[in-house]
Structure 1
């Protein structure tokens, strides 16, 4: 079903109330940012109805004036509808699951070596790593980002996948799928290299460095240019920052969670804050023009 741009409004206009109304009415929609405006996309079949609805209820329906059927008030968009609304988020998670399957979640070293930051070979009980420069000279540039697809165990991939689904959809809804992919690759590159630079050669992987990048991006962007998509519950931000501090303290490794890629987490968070700063300042400047 084709989508059309039903509304084009300045970034200063708060669409959160109207978006909540569409959610309550189960109208498929997404909001993107284009040329300094926020654009509301809906299926073509309901576009005229949505325009008329906005004329009546531009701030939404906080007083519940519309008498909707009970099922429309309680139901949320189904999983398939959410996948259609966030194709890039779903694509990255699908790649993660595929790599998890062919590497047996880190148990199959023969296939895992295709995705690690450094090429390696196993000699007896030892792992010998190929220098990064040699791998890049051989054209293996994908290694700079593919460690984000490697996970070690079901809990590892489940937790990272859950948080990427939560944060990735927010960025895709606000800035589009291409921007989400670009940010994901950038955060992966910086966090992987940070872990290699500070931790030395080793086997590391996971989406957690990317997740801290997405968190920092939403956090600072929302602080500078408030918008509903990036409005994270305060508890989420506090929990992830507390977890970062606990990992840095060494306590998490001490109680049996294994080695933590702390440099990747910090590197991802810092570059995410930087992109959030640039994006937020740009959005504020476009709004002021």
Structure 2
């Protein structure tokens, strides 16, 4: 199939509302950045048609309805992709979230110290009013390598779990759609390792956990990738990145802790964000060079 550039618009132009029109009509497309512009590529046979649709879209005119190719009986049963279909398209995202739910059930959302000790970075035991942590080196010598990753699955409270799961679902499946389940799984595992090790190095033996270090990694990946090599799947709603960065700053300056919302694993957040930004920059540049 021969591709043609149907549109060239400034980088600040938001195409996220127009691209679903092409998806509804079954028109394959991709967006690249060239000389400070976004370039929308479609099959040559659709280029003129897409240009006309965009002019109608900008002027607020009614766009043509999709011409479904289903048989009448099939068309009558057609429904937009629902939650189950989205889960099927996002196996790695779903697997991580299911693992978080299972660990939340096992640990009773952080209330069961005995089962929490199975997943923390350091094993520990309670003696009276004191908690004694096993050195990391000893745990690794005993084959407890899973502890390098398992803290990312531990959550303390329903709100902690719900917020992390919600944002991971929103961000991670974008990466899975664009770069595949294997890439997302690799990014999640590397981010989990980096954020857990960073938090341990910063705070020492302690009870830390949560998916937020990984969450900031997938946020950073989507953010920087989109800046370098714009893609429809990585176009985040306006204000999301700013809100997440403001939240990070509030955590770093102790505002969240002062409000009584608990201790925050700041080292995990920052290291995850840095890793995600580097990942987004690297792979966006590679993709951009391949498309050139």
TM bin (shorter chain): 0.7 to 0.9
What is the CA distance between 1:21 and its match in structure 2?
2.7
> For residues 165-191 of structure 1, what are the alpha-carbon distances to aligned partners after superposition, in whole Å with 9 as ceiling and x for unaligned?
000110000000110000001111111
1:30 shift after superposition: 12
1:66 aligns to what? 64
The answer to whether structure 1 residue 92 and structure 2 residue 96 are counterparts is yes
Per-residue CA shift, 1:43-79, capped at 9, x if unaligned?
xxxxxxxx9x96895569554442359xx9xx75211
Contact 2:195 2:269 in 1 (8 A): yes
* 8 Å CA contact retained: 1:144, 1:189: yes
CA contact (8 A) 1:20 1:60 kept: no
Q: 2:255 aligns with which of 229, 251, 257?
A: 251
Asked if 1:106 is matched to 2:110, the reply is yes
SS of residue matched to 1:187: helix
Query: Does the 8 A contact of 1:18 with 1:60 survive in 2?
Result: no
Separation in 2, partners of 1:89, 1:149: 13
Out of 218, 225, 231, which is 1:227 matched to? 231
Alignment pair present for 1:238 and 2:242: yes
Q: Is 2:21 aligned against 1:21?
A: yes
**Residue number in structure 1 paired with 2:170:** 166
Instruction: Give the deviation of 1:234 after TM superposition.
Output: 3.3
Select which of 240, 264, 269 maps to 2:268.
Answer: 264
Q: What is the aligned counterpart of 1:118 among 119, 122, 131?
A: 122
The Cα RMSD (Å) is: 3.2
1:139 and 2:143 equivalent? yes
CA gap 1:12/1:155 in 2 versus in 1, 3 angstroms: farther
Deviations 1:155-213 (A, max 9, x none): 00000000000001100000001100000011111111110001111000001000111
Matches of 1:13 and 1:131, distance apart in 2:
59
Give the aligned length. 258
Whole-angstrom CA distance in 2 between matches of 1:251 and 1:287: 44
Work out the CA distance in 1 between the residues paired with 2:108 and 2:231.
40
Deviations, residues 23-53 of structure 1 (Å, cap 9, x unaligned):
547x8x999xxxxxxxxxxxxxxxxxxx9x9
Q: Which runs of 5+ in 2 are unaligned?
A: 9-14, 31-42, 57-61, 68-75
Deviations 1:80-100 (A, max 9, x none): 111111111111101110110
CA distance, structure 2, for counterparts of residue 224 and residue 186 of structure 1? 22
After TM superposition, the score normalised by the length of structure 2 is: 0.79
Asked whether 1:202 is paired with 2:206, we answer yes
SS of residue in 1 equivalent to 2:259? helix
Where do 5+ consecutive residues of structure 1 fail to align? 1-6, 32-50
Match of 2:184 in 1: 180
Give the equivalent residue in structure 2 for 1:38.
none
